[in-house]
Structure 1
Amino acid sequence: MAAAREIKAREVVEPGDDDAVELAKRHLVQPWPYAGSVGAEARALIGEGEGIYITDASGKRLIDGPAGMWCINVGHRREELARVMYDQAMALSYNTPWYTMNAPSAELARRIADAAPGDLSHTFFTTGGSSAVETALRFMQFYNNVRGRPEKKLILSRGGAYHGSTYLSASLNGRPRDRHWMDGADELVIKLSSPDPFRRPKEMSIDAFTDFLVDQFRDTVARVGAGRIGAFVGEPVQASGGVVVPPDGYLNRIREICRENEILYVSDEVVTGFGRLGHLFASGDVFGLDPDMITFAKGVTSGYFPLGGMIISERLLEELRRSNHPDALFGHGLTYTSHPIGCAVALKNLDLLEEGVLQHAREIAPYFQARLKTLEELPLVGEVRGAGLMACVECVADRESKDPLQLDKDVGKRIDAHCHELGLLVRPLINMCVMSPPLIISREQIDDMVAILREGISRTMDDLRKEGVWRG
């Protein structure tokens, strides 16, 4: 029996098996493809991962700078998580959430409630971040319908935001390129300015910029009518928008306006939750917020199993239970809601985080930010910004105009290509490079990461000069 229960780590498809690159080109549709290459594209093939490193198909070892996609928080190849997946699958691989439940989901909901701010006490589990945000928005609609406010459905979002890829969650996204060729529920969403201090008007102080953002929010509520606005959805730190850290006090002032006007405040912690800023939830512990809902995913299982969720205020549930419509049905659910394997993995992941990873993240974050900040010495770099173990290097043609290199929109990809050659995987975003390594990274590994990134940017500057694209 013991032998039968061993995890056979080598029973996997190897990087070269059946020529994976050619198979991908013939059969695999990649996420976010361009029409000219859709269904005929292969991307960098990754074979293995261990700790903060991954190995590509050629055998090159790379620092996993983006931690997968902001998610491999406790690092690759954690045997504890692999064992839990196996053990739970052998005990109970699945149960239908429509009329049965499992123990891991109940225990995970309790532990999340213990860590969440304010009166956030109940969790609805989903399959990832997009479905978590979708669930929060559908709950807002249901909540207002039951309370007799069917017109209170508009959603406030912001420029630079990213909230998902399902129809309603994607409608909130504030990155223009995400929506150029895609439809969305535009009639339901109002976009406000990004809280990006780097992009504020040159003559405007940070305090004045904060006042502008708050006044814009308040004026929008007054113009549209609080009776028509159901929710505000905001990331504590805008992640895919370029790691935009909002000005001090801004989020708290927005929260107060929401409270005054019965607008549900949804804090999207798909990226910032479960350790990225050194705490299980950044809303309360970092920003002093008590949202009506928090959405999460990614780091809850450190990417080892697809899982997400929405944590909801006890007050909202009590209001529904006291309503005149006890038979009103929240007609929303997913086949894999409260998946037993995902919840079991999340419980073990929480153990790892609470047994030292969170503390390490808090201790090493200042060093991580300080070392990356030294890259501002390079003339191509306009700003290095971040919080916790997430940061962005934004490149500009010149620091005076902050021109985001309109002559070359692939600067981030150029830097990533050089860094890949040197031993670092970067997440390129047009003129930006995002870094969010596994939380277990050491000082020495941070030094290696920054040194490679410095050289990758330097080589890119040489390329741009030779091509006459940039004269810096």
Structure 2
Amino acid sequence: MTLHDNTAGPARDWDNAHFLHPWEGMESIGDNARTFAETARGIHVTSESGAELLDGPAGMWCMQLGYGNHEIAEAMADQARQLAYFSPFNNSNSTAARLAHEIAQRTPGDLNRVLFTTGGSTAVDSALRFVWFRNNILGRPEKKIIISRQKAYHGSTHLAASVSGKERDKGWLDQAPGVAHFLPNVNPLLRGAEQSVAAFLDEKIADLENAILSLGPEKVAAFIAEPILASGGVIVPPEGYHKRCIEICRKHDVLYISDEVVTGFGRLGHWFASEEVFGITPDIITCAKGMTAGYVPMGACIISDALIDSISGEASKGATFSNGFTYSGHPVSAAAALKTIEIIERDGILDHVRRMTPLFQERLRALGDLDLVVDARGKGLVGAIECSLQKGSGADLLEQDYTVGARIDARCQELGLLVRPLINMCVFSPPLIIREDEINAMFDMLEQGVRRAMDDLAREGLM
């Protein structure tokens, strides 16, 4: 047996004995039966048993151009043969420099300074550290509180996790004390029975301003927000939410960080969603995932010229922003990102996403008619269904049913579809290259998977 022998039996034993997975459940550690994704092509992955599965989540929101793209693979190989690594602390490299330039050409406003990171978590860490660094130089050492939101997810490094608002991720791991203040859930589904969406929006904007005033504008450094709260359940705030939030931030000298780790690089049909979709020009954008189409890790923290100018030159007080990574601007990752940008533009992928969106959203909304589904929501090529054994409002919707998502996931996989179960929700964000017939096939399988799960629950007397 060679080091490349992936025989299913031994590999499963090795997986359970040695591979500590993200979000590993300690109760079942060493006794998991995960599906092994062994090969892939286009929007499908093939399991260890030979089953072909449509990749509904695009890996982890990241496989924008699908699997088996030889152009990206060759670009990476060519770069590795030419130069596999350079030290970003002491040198530079034309591939990384060109990528920074290409990103700056596609960002809104004056967001032209690109700090390369290893992924989304370190991009968020870098953004927060820069905000604090700047306030220290400006003589405002007390202006450090970060406002975030319930259900937000910004990463799993210590600092990024500390500004994340997903309750189930906070049960046993420590967060940095005093760093973040969390606003209430912005999901319109949770508004009162008699409350209009407009009134709910007013309430959410008031939540932000009241928090700033209560904490003290002199102490609040930044507001960090995903345009769509992705891992929190694809929560789409009411229309106009982000524009009104940034107005409040500007009013009180609070920076606006847009976490586009999921929405960046085409997920909503634009390079970045902040300006084109939500009408805002943030002070900082973080991105990762789709920037290399998932082929290799990379992230970026993109900072406005105005912020850089405010603490550079004579205003710098001789300070050094002592933040960065061994692999910042890694040339092989940069080559993958450049090829990704080239293909997206050459093949009209952004236009394609916008053309596919109406069908995607139409099929998604139709799932809301199923008895188990209490909400079907999304934007662009990202969606989620939220399920409950008790269809209703208020407390019923807040009950976390840990069985529903797993049942739907299992039934969908039997039908040939991978989804991402999040307790009582199923999330999907397929590769951007998905075609109309594939969208219909995906939703056909998802609907059938939900119906089969409903039959299971009915037989067990749970429905």
- Report TM bin, short chain: over 0.9
1:415 to 383, 402, 408: 408
Report the Cα distance in structure 2 between the residues aligned to 1:243 and 1:416, rounded to whole angstroms.
17
2:329 to 331, 338, 345: 338
Correspondence for 1:429: 422
2:155 to 154, 157, 164: 164
Structure 1 residues 138 and 405: CA distance shift in structure 2, 3 A? closer
2:256 to 256, 265, 268: 265
Correspondence for 1:3: none
1:375 alignment partner AA: L
1:224 to 203, 210, 215: 215
CA contact (8 A) 2:16 2:29 kept: no
Report the Cα distance in structure 2 between the residues aligned to 1:228 and 1:247, rounded to whole angstroms.
28
Report the Cα distance in structure 2 between the residues aligned to 1:13 and 1:264, rounded to whole angstroms.
49
Shift of 1:327: 1.4
CA contact (8 A) 1:158 1:191 kept: yes
Correspondence for 1:380: 372
Shift of 1:397: 2.4
Shift of 1:398: 3.2
CA contact (8 A) 1:371 1:447 kept: yes
CA contact (8 A) 1:408 1:469 kept: no
CA contact (8 A) 2:137 2:317 kept: no
Structure 1 residues 37 and 134: CA distance shift in structure 2, 3 A? same
Aligned length: 460
Shift of 1:325: 3.8
Structure 1 residues 137 and 39: CA distance shift in structure 2, 3 A? farther
Tell me the percent identity. 48
Matches of residues 45-444 of structure 1 in structure 2 within 5 Å?
A: 45-355=36-346, 356-401=348-393, 403-404=396-397, 406=399, 408-444=401-437
> Structure 1 stretches of 5 or more lacking a match?
1-10
Alignment root-mean-square deviation, CA = 1.5
TM-score (norm 2): 0.97
2:392 alignment partner AA: E
Shift of 1:39: 5.3
Report the Cα distance in structure 2 between the residues aligned to 1:13 and 1:37, rounded to whole angstroms.
27
Report the Cα distance in structure 2 between the residues aligned to 1:45 and 1:23, rounded to whole angstroms.
12
Correspondence for 2:449: 456
Per-residue Cα deviation, 1:106-149 (whole angstroms, up to 9, x for no partner): 11111111110111011000010000000000001100001100
Structure 1 residues 407 and 468: CA distance shift in structure 2, 3 A? farther
1:197 alignment partner AA: P
Does 2:32 align with 1:32? no
1:213 alignment partner AA: K
Per-residue Cα deviation, 1:18-73 (whole angstroms, up to 9, x for no partner): 72111111111111012223455452111111101000110000000000000000
Shift of 1:324: 4.0
SS of 1:190 mapped into structure 2: strand
TM-score (norm 1): 0.95
> Structure 2 stretches of 5 or more lacking a match?
none
1:126 alignment partner AA: T
Report the Cα distance in structure 2 between the residues aligned to 1:443 and 1:110, rounded to whole angstroms.
34
Report the Cα distance in structure 2 between the residues aligned to 1:18 and 1:382, rounded to whole angstroms.
40
Report the Cα distance in structure 2 between the residues aligned to 1:291 and 1:13, rounded to whole angstroms.
46
